[in-house]
Amino acid sequence: MALPRLQMMTRKNCSLCDDAYIAADLAQRQGLCRFEVVDVDSDADLLAKYGNDVPVLLIDGVECMRHFVEYPKLVQALQGA
């Protein structure tokens, strides 16, 4: 079975994004997901959709967390994917 794809919508100079990155990267290192960082400033549609409303974590394209990431909840969401 393939690992779920975890995407983090982010932008530079975002302290909440830095915290979310640590949790998401740990989940990837523990073999729970494939992790991908997406800079919303690199795509006009993503910028319009998310703007400053980051970080947003998506599991297989479905939003699971916004702004604050709690690692235990992230693990639970990934295991349920």
Q: What is the distance between the alpha carbons of residues 73 and 50, in angstroms, rounded to a whole number? A: 22
Whether the Cβ atoms of residue 51 and residue 40 lie closer than 8 Å to each other: yes
What pLDDT score does 70 carry?
94
Whether the Cβ atoms of residue 36 and residue 27 lie closer than 8 Å to each other: no
Whether the Cβ atoms of residue 17 and residue 10 lie closer than 8 Å to each other: yes
The tokens 């079975």 sit on which residue? Answer: 1
pLDDT tens, residue by residue, 33-64: 999 999 999 999 999 999 889 999 999 999 99
Check pLDDT > 90 for residue 81.
Answer: no
Domain boundaries, the chain: 25-80
Q: What is the distance between the alpha carbons of residues 2 and 55, in angstroms, rounded to a whole number? A: 25
Cis before 4? omega within 30: no
- Write down the pTM of the prediction: 0.92
